[in-house]
């Protein structure tokens, strides 16, 4: 009894006392961006999220038969995350996939001028949807996914406008053959939904996912 009453009131158990002298080391909260897209990296910077490393996935992005564009975006984001997670342990890991869809048809990334021409003719004067699937894996290995959707309406494009856009080269490697963050903005009459989602990462959803799973954002990061 005598020993105990001589201890400071806050001393608690032996383990707690040790921790006061040697607090447990806190794990650094590393974030891996599993994407080769420079747009995704700069979108994250816009909300003060700075990945510790970029490690892109290399997966087959072919749609399954009858797969809906929204489901495709979600599946590919998950597969990218799972592929890269095998190389990293105890980290946050973020991946995404952007799909441009006309009705049930998903347009891939334009790789040739012919692709870009065909896509822009299809998008001319009509409304289409852009879906970005996002997957976050936590240090404990839990995976969460979301899909954001934005409707985009192009003005009717004549052949000379399509040719001029193609000569800019901005379509290359972009889903649907255009980049809203560049010259295509002059051809887009309206969007309904998140702008960053069209560029490749829905920032509102991403911020909520990170916060929800305990990744410190902004001031919390210190």
Active-site positions read 97
Site string for ligand TTP, 175-214 (x = CB under 6 A): xx-xxxx----------------xxx--------------
Task: Specify the DSSP element, H or E, that contains 144.
Answer: strand 143-154
State how far the Cα of 144 lies from the Cα of 121, in Å rounded to an integer: 36
Which CB, 35 or 74, lies closer to ligand TTP? 35
Q: Name the segment binding ligand TTP (CB under 6 A); options: 19-27, 94-102, 157-165, 210-218.
A: 94-102
Burial status of residue 161 (CB atoms within 10 A of its CB: 0-12, 13-18, 19 or more): middle
Sign of CA pseudo-dihedral 31, 37, 41, 44: negative
Least distance between ligand TTP and beta carbon 96 (Å):
6
* # residues contacting ligand TTP (CB under 6 A): 23
| Cα 203 versus chain centre, distance | 8
Q: In terms of DSSP bridges, do strands 31-33 and 127-137 run parallel, antiparallel, or are they unpaired? A: unpaired
Q: How many residues does the chain have?
A: 222
Least distance between ligand TTP and beta carbon 26 (Å):
30
Subset of 103-162 contacting ligand TTP (CB under 6 A):
109, 130
CA-closest candidate to residue 27, choices 211, 216, 159: 216
Which CB, 32 or 100, lies closer to ligand TTP? 100
State how far the Cα of 96 lies from the Cα of 77, in Å rounded to an integer: 5
Q: Name 211's Cβ contacts closer than 8 Å, sequence gap at least 6.
A: 217
Least distance between ligand TTP and beta carbon 50 (Å):
17
What is the number of the residue whose Cβ is closest to ligand TTP? 35
Q: What is the DSSP letter of 153?
A: E
Q: Name the segment binding ligand TTP (CB under 6 A); options: 10-18, 91-99, 137-145, 211-219.
A: 91-99
Which CB, 170 or 210, lies closer to ligand TTP? 170
Which CB, 100 or 147, lies closer to ligand TTP? 100
Do residues 191 and 210 lie in contact, with contact meaning Cβ atoms separated by under 8 Å? no
Do residues 39 and 199 lie in contact, with contact meaning Cβ atoms separated by under 8 Å? yes
Site string for ligand TTP, 21-60 (x = CB under 6 A): --------------xxx-x----------------x----
- Which residues are near ligand TTP by CB under 6 A? 35-37, 39, 56, 61, 80, 96-98, 100, 109, 130, 174-176, 178-181, 198-200
């Amino acid at each position: 009894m005598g020993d105990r009453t001589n201890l400071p009131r806050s001393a608690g158990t032996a383990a707690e006392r040790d921790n006061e002298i040697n607090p447990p080391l806190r794990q650094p909260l590393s974030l891996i961006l599993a994407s080769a897209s420079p747009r995704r990296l700069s979108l994250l910077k816009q909300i003060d999220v700075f990945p510790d490393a970029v490690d892109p996935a290399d997966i087959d992005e072919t749609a399954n038969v009858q797969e809906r564009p929204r489901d495709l975006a979600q599946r590919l984001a998950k597969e990218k995350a799972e592929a890269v997670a095998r190389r990293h342990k105890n980290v946050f890991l973020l991946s995404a996939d952007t799909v441009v869809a006309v009705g049930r048809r998903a347009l891939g990334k334009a790789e040739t001028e012919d692709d870009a021409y065909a896509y822009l003719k299809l998008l001319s004067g009509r409304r289409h949807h852009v879906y970005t699937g996002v997957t976050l894996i936590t240090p404990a290995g839990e995976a969460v996914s979301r899909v954001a959707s934005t409707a985009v309406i192009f003005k009717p494009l004549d052949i000379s406008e399509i040719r001029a856009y193609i000569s800019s080269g901005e379509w290359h490697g972009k889903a649907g053959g255009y980049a809203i963050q560049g010259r295509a903005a002059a051809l887009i009459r309206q969007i309904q939904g998140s702008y960053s989602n069209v560029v490749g990462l829905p920032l509102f959803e991403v911020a909520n996912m990170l916060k929800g799973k305990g990744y410190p954002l902004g001031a919390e990061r210190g």
